[in-house]
Amino acid sequence: MPPKRPGAEALWTAVDGYFGDLLAPRDERLDAALLANRQAGLPAIDVSRLQGKFLFLLARIAQARRILEIGTLGGYSTIWLARALPPEGRIITLERAPHHAEVACANLSRAGLLDRVDLRLGRALDSLSELHASNAGPFDLIFIDADKPSNPEYLTWALKLSRPGTVIVVDNVVRQGEVLDAGSSDADIIGTRSMAELMAAEPRLSATVLQTVGAKGYDGVALAVVLN
């Protein structure tokens, strides 16, 4: 008889480990960022190694020189995105929590990338309004990974800060399948569904969603490109 396979989540994690070791090998500075995040008490909601590499590749494919990240946490995904930039490239990342921002700055400094990163502290919707008012856009890639109830507003601002060809990525849109519950009272589900409906109705966007399983469990990512 063939060997018994582990349960679904253990199998997903093992497969992530296999491909991660091959295609996104462990990195001292990235590992140090994750360790610092845990030691600082930040929630363990960073993207996985393979998801970080996915963001890196999207930025490279888009030939991004200007990136906007909504939701910094401890800067793990920021490191992946900043590494994809050319030397003159810049990423603006938005974080509301001062403690998170402090940890992120230390991680980015340790990774040698702080000079490519402009970390804006404050409520993301306020920061987005300020960016638009100061003509900070357009951005080549926008990664949305902050509070889910605000996702519809984040998408609206992302469009204002975009150009034709801008790539927009929204994380955590499947939420273990709970996104199917149209009657949910969960603000995260309501925000995610509203964002998806806005994305579907927006003629300037062509979008899809990829369901994902792995070390982070069952979720998914929305991927869109601005057409005009």
What is the tens place of the pLDDT at every residue in 34-86?
A: 999 999 999 999 999 999 999 999 999 999 999 999 999 999 999 999 999 99
**Is it the case that residue 5 has pLDDT exceeding 70?**
no
pLDDT tier at 88 (50, 70, 90 boundaries)? very high
On whether the 8-226 domain is CATH 3.40.50.150, my answer is yes
For the chain, where are the E strands, in sequence order? Answer: 66-70, 90-95, 117-121, 141-144, 167-171, 205-214, 217-226
Q: What are phi and psi of 57, to 5 degrees?
A: -70, -40
> CA of 165: how far to CAs of 46, 104, 109, 204, 216, in Å?
27, 29, 31, 10, 29
Percent of the chain past pLDDT 90, that is, above it, reads 94
**Is it the case that residue 141 has pLDDT exceeding 70?**
yes
Is there a contact between 222 and 208 (Cβ–Cβ < 8 Å)? Answer: yes
**Is it the case that residue 156 has pLDDT exceeding 70?**
yes
pLDDT at site 47:
96
Nearest to 159 by CA among 124, 121, 128, 120: 128
Strand partners, 211: 220
One-letter amino acid for residue 72 of the chain: T
pLDDT at site 7:
83
pLDDT tier at 228 (50, 70, 90 boundaries)? confident
- Across the range 20-25, mean pLDDT stands at 96
Question: How far is the C-alpha of 202 from the C-alpha of 198, rounded, in Å?
Answer: 6
Please give the mean pLDDT across all residues of the chain. Answer: 96
Question: How far is the C-alpha of 228 from the C-alpha of 225, rounded, in Å?
Answer: 9
Strand partners, 47: none
Helix (H) or strand (E) holding 166: none
Q: What are phi and psi of 208, to 5 degrees?
A: -150, 170
